[in-house]
Structure 1
Amino acid sequence: MFATITPVIVPIVVCIALGIWWGRSQPNFPSTFVGDLVMKIGAPALIIGTLGTTELQLNALLEVAGAALVLLGITAVFAIIACLICRWPLRDIGVPLVAGNSGNMGLPLCLFAFGPEGLALSLGVFVLFSLTHFTLGSAVLTEKVPGPTLLKSPVVWSGLLAIGLVAVDYEFPVTLSNTLNLLGGMAIPLMLLTLGVSLVELKLKDVGTALWMGAMRIVVSVSAGVLTVTLLDLDGVLRGVILLQAATPAAVFNYLLAHQYRRSPEAVAGLVMASTLISFATIPLVLAFIV
């Protein structure tokens, strides 16, 4: 079991550790530039290139989308209950409890655990979660319906394009496939490096509260994942992908939104950092459960 888990966890930890080292030792890290590079070029190329070239049927893509929606809904219900019990502000803490790090952590986890098929299925989860976070998540924080900026998101459009390519069973020319693979190859390592840098930049104010919130994120999401795969009777790679995506910590993007909209940014920063640190211990347990 140890030999199975190590190849999945160690590459991720090493990349994040390099990001932490960079954040501590180097004067500047162009987080905005790297984020734009990943979200506007790397991630779209990864989505289109992977979904367009992997032997994935449309019904499998629809199945993972349905499972992701169920996971999202159950996680939201559990998050609301947790906020009410703990008396946390629902808008401020509820969104970070729901929105996991399906990109930076979820994609490499599923890739290393299940190979190209796992990456393809996890990309379906990532696109759906990102779309929901940018729409419903932002609407909860701002109390406004998202504007036309959503329509400018390359991740959203690349996801729709990839679904269309899968539906018509389009086969990429070798030149285009190689180009997409080359551009998409930078997305995952840059995501992990940026995550490491972001952890250095986050500041903890109340360690006890941060640890409690971080632990609650893991409990809420993992419980929702187990309930999802049980209710839908999922098996195989899809079951593993849903469980691994559910085991991811709160997304760093939660802090950026909390800071932008003044929604308890210090508390959210603690939640993100604590859940990420806790996930280093809980994700191997989830992997052991899966294998």
Structure 2
Amino acid sequence: MLSYVFPLFPVMLPVLLCAMVGVIWVRTAQPYNQEFVRRMVMWISAPALVLSTLVEVDIGIDRLQQIVLATLVMLAFSVVIAMLFCLVAGWSLRDFVVALTIGNTGNMGMPVCLFAFGQEGLALAVGLFLISMGCHFSIGIAVLNGRAAVKAVCSSPVVYAGVLAAIIIAYELSVPKTITNTLEILGGMAIPLMLVTLGVSLGGLRVAQTGEAVVLGVARMVVGIGAALATVWCLELEGTIAKVVLVQGAMPAAIFNYLLAVQYQRSPQAVAGMVVSSTLMSFVTVPVMLLFIA
């Protein structure tokens, strides 16, 4: 058994330790300007990471189209399963469907896929994150707020970086080494900052009702993993792309779900509980998933 577990340490421990840095930082009352860091990540390091990863890794336009389709199918399955949970449990669809559907494919998902599957896994995880983020900040906000939020997507540099990378891949354009090296340096900030910010965010969240939080956390994990398994089966995915979809499906609820719940007053305390409990669960479910697909 230990021979199966030990290889997971280099994958999961860096994620846990980096997040713990953030938890310890906030618990020791050290200053941490989350808005500044968020802007650094969303406006500089994340777009650079998207461009450098997708351009440098020979992923090909066919594989990019495949991960886009897989992500959309997985989100569709997630919505259906999340709606069923809400209807059976009597939860508000508007308050909980988005939070149950959108997993932490960025802060946590991309590092895990990088450590588990290398640069190819990271490139596919980046593609999945881009589509998931686009849906979260358009359709997701429309559900939470009752109106469309296309402006939020159109004003995101990460989205434009993804479009530019797709054009470069599709037309097989050559990017000067000076540019790719610069993007690699700037993009190198993204994952450490994402993980530390994840820890800071979790360290600052307070769970109001533990029982409700656990139930919501379990529901999120069932939604994500169930949707990922259905997607792999439905699209007959194989290889690294199937593994990335399954691992990303096992991710906990995204931190942004809580921030949007606060902004639009959609049961923020309950969503905070879901984020915390599902994140703690993911340190069990993700290794189990990695063992399952090994």
Q: Normalising by structure 1, what TM-score? A: 0.98
SS of aligned partner of 2:284: helix
Distance 1:93 1:126 in 2: 20
Aligned-partner residue type, residue 188 of structure 2:
G
Give me the CA root mean square deviation: 0.8
Q: 1:149 to 1:230 in 2, by over 3 A?
A: closer
Distance 1:58 1:47 in 2: 15
**Partner residue in 1 for 2:6:** 3
Q: Is 1:164 aligned with 2:183?
A: no
**Partner residue in 2 for 1:87:** 90
**Partner residue in 2 for 1:40:** 43
> How big is each residue's C-alpha offset from its partner over 1:134-183, in whole Å with a ceiling of 9 and x where there is no partner?
00000000001115232111111111111111101122211111100000
Shift of 1:27: 3.3
- Structure 2: runs of 5 or more not aligned: none
Distance 1:4 1:88 in 2: 40
**Partner residue in 2 for 1:123:** 126
Note if contact 2:137-2:152 (Cα within 8 Å) is conserved in structure 1. no
The partner residue of 2:256 within 238, 253, 257 is: 253
Q: Is 1:27 aligned with 2:24?
A: no
Distance 2:218 2:207 in 1: 15
Distance 1:161 1:173 in 2: 15
- Structure 1: runs of 5 or more not aligned: none
Distance 2:268 2:91 in 1: 13
1:10-21 alignment, distance < 5 Å = 10-21=13-24
Distance 1:26 1:116 in 2: 36
**Partner residue in 1 for 2:266:** 263
Aligned-partner residue type, residue 44 of structure 1:
P
Note if contact 2:21-2:199 (Cα within 8 Å) is conserved in structure 1. yes
Q: Normalising by structure 2, what TM-score? A: 0.97
> How big is each residue's C-alpha offset from its partner over 1:102-158, in whole Å with a ceiling of 9 and x where there is no partner?
100110011011100000011100000000000000000000111523211111111
The partner residue of 1:76 within 62, 75, 79 is: 79
Distance 1:68 1:149 in 2: 20
Shift of 1:264: 0.7
The partner residue of 2:106 within 89, 103, 110 is: 103
Q: Is 1:113 aligned with 2:116?
A: yes
The partner residue of 2:192 within 189, 192, 195 is: 189
Of residues 135-144 and 226-235 in structure 1, the stretch that sits farther from structure 2 once superposed is 226-235
1:136-147 alignment, distance < 5 Å = 136-147=139-150
Note if contact 1:104-1:195 (Cα within 8 Å) is conserved in structure 2. yes
User: Alignment identity in percent?
Assistant: 46
Distance 1:154 1:18 in 2: 27
**Partner residue in 2 for 1:229:** 232
**Partner residue in 2 for 1:177:** 180
Shift of 1:28: 2.0
Note if contact 2:138-2:152 (Cα within 8 Å) is conserved in structure 1. no
Aligned-partner residue type, residue 171 of structure 1:
S
Distance 1:64 1:74 in 2: 15
The partner residue of 2:153 within 150, 154, 162 is: 150
> How big is each residue's C-alpha offset from its partner over 1:34-63, in whole Å with a ceiling of 9 and x where there is no partner?
011101101000001111111111001000
Note if contact 2:64-2:124 (Cα within 8 Å) is conserved in structure 1. yes
Distance 1:19 1:65 in 2: 32
**Partner residue in 2 for 1:282:** 285
Runs of 4+ in structure 1 off by over 4 angstroms are none
